[in-house]
Amino acid sequence: MSTGIEWLVDAEGCSAELIRNSEVLRMLCEEVIAKLDLRVVGYPTWHRFPPPGGVTGLYLLSESHLTCHTFPETGLATFNLYCCRPRPPFAWEQRLHELLFATNVVVRTVDRGTEVSHRDLLLAGDQSSIESGISELTSTREVSGL
């Protein structure tokens, strides 16, 4: 059974100045929250690290959470959004190109609360994918004590 979807977003080649700017990042996160009709619980938390460091932001949501971590020294901004109820897609690629001047944006989604079955691994393709998936399931069970 699915318990939600998680977006893992990596924006590379960002402007160092922009990803050090907590106001720009706050505006972006609040746009995500508004467009996806999410509900903030309490107050967002932001921390700016000493130069040349970046910014970390956290929004606790009734749907789960939204986080942002930036690394100006490498031009990387990362976002993690987990929602326990269905949400429409957000235009991550477009907005990160426009607001942070990202040169490359990778958006991955993970359906939470489901395990990858051996059948799904077989349908996915090659032997290395299957071995990787089995290894991942094994390590997850070992860590969680299952």
Structure tokens at 87: 């949400």
46 touches 22 (CB < 8 A): yes
pLDDT at 35: 96
Residue 132: what pLDDT?
53
* 84 noted as active-site residue: yes
Please report, for the chain, the start and end positions of each structural domain, with discontinuous segments joined by +: 4-114, 115-146
**Where do the H-state alpha helices sit in 2-91?**
16-19, 22-35
pLDDT of residue 118: 43
Task: Walk along the chain (146 residues) in steps of 10 and give the mean pLDDT of each run.
Answer: 87 98 97 96 96 94 96 98 89 97 96 60 51 46 38
State the Cα–Cα distance between residues 121 and 124, nearest whole angstrom.
5
Cα pseudo-dihedral 22, 25, 113, 141, rounded to 10? -50
Query: Is 47 designated active site?
Result: no
pLDDT of residue 128: 54
- pLDDT, residue 109, reads 92
Domain 4-114 has CATH 3.30.70.20: no
The one catalytic residue in 15, 22, 65, 84 is 84
CA–centroid distance for 133 within its chain: 21
Residues linked to residue 142 through DSSP beta bridges, in sequence order: none
Which member of 15, 22, 65, 69 is catalytic?
A: 69
> What local confidence, expressed as pLDDT, does residue 52 receive?
86
Angle between helices 92-100 and 22-35 (to 10 degrees): 160
Q: Which of 64, 68, 83, 139 is catalytic?
A: 64
Tell me whether residue 97 is one of the annotated catalytic residues: no
| Cβ–Cβ under 8 Å, residues 40 and 61 | yes
What pLDDT was estimated at residue 1? 65
The amino acid that residue 73 corresponds to is E
Is residue 59 a contact partner of residue 66, using CB atoms and an 8 Å limit? yes
State the pLDDT at residue 111. Answer: 87
65 neighbors 8 (Cβ within 8 angstroms) = no
